[in-house]
Structure 1
Amino acid sequence: MLSQTILLASTGLIALVITLGAMLKGWQAWLALKSQELEYHLSAPAREIEGGTTTGAARIELAHLKERIRKLEAIASGVDL
């Protein structure tokens, strides 16, 4: 009875260690991917995107779109600006 309990506990522990090892490897790969994405985005800030606009112009355009959405939401809720 005791040996069966020890066998079950050790099998569970081994399974846990294998699972945690796989999760750790996946986490490290995900961090490496995000690091590469960050380096890519920071390496060329004036790179052209969508329709030939630079990232600075795209950010300004995005800010304008957010402002329009905010105004439309205010109109939809009946608030005067």
Structure 2
Amino acid sequence: MFEPTMIIAAASLVGLAIVAWALLRAWHGWLALKRQELERFQTPGNPDEGSSLGAARIEISDLKERIKKLEAIASGVDL
């Protein structure tokens, strides 16, 4: 009545369904996390102004550039 190939096929299908469900839940959780991050960085006063996230990224890149220059000076390399 139940052949081994049918049992393996049914078990594989159930396993695939479980993995797909788990991945879907993880995807929704990740989207919710990103939505919270976006809401956290919005300015409360005027939503059209945007956030200060761009300015922070520029400042971080400037600091990284300064660190590279200082490391070059410390190692004796001319820029």
Same fold by TM-score greater than 0.5: yes
- Sort the Cα spacing of 1:55 and 1:26 in 2 relative to 1 into closer, same or farther, 3 A: closer
- Sort the Cα spacing of 1:56 and 1:29 in 2 relative to 1 into closer, same or farther, 3 A: closer
How many residues are paired up?
72
Unaligned runs of 5+ in 1: 47-53
Q: Report the RMSD for the aligned CA atoms in angstroms.
A: 3.1
Aligned to 2:69: 71
Aligned to 1:32: 32
Per-residue deviation at 1:65? 2.1
Q: Percentage identity across aligned positions?
A: 56
Larger strand fraction of residues: 1
> How far apart, in 1, do the equivalents of 2:59 and 2:44 lie?
16
Unaligned runs of 5+ in 2: 46-51
Aligned to 1:44: 43
Per-residue deviation at 1:5? 0.9
> TM-score if structure 1 supplies the norm length?
0.64
Moved over 4 A (4+): 54-61
> TM-score if structure 2 supplies the norm length?
0.65
Measured against aligned partners, the alpha-carbon deviations of 1:25-77 in whole angstroms (never above 9, x if no partner) come to 11111111111111211x2289xxxxxxx878756653442232120232355
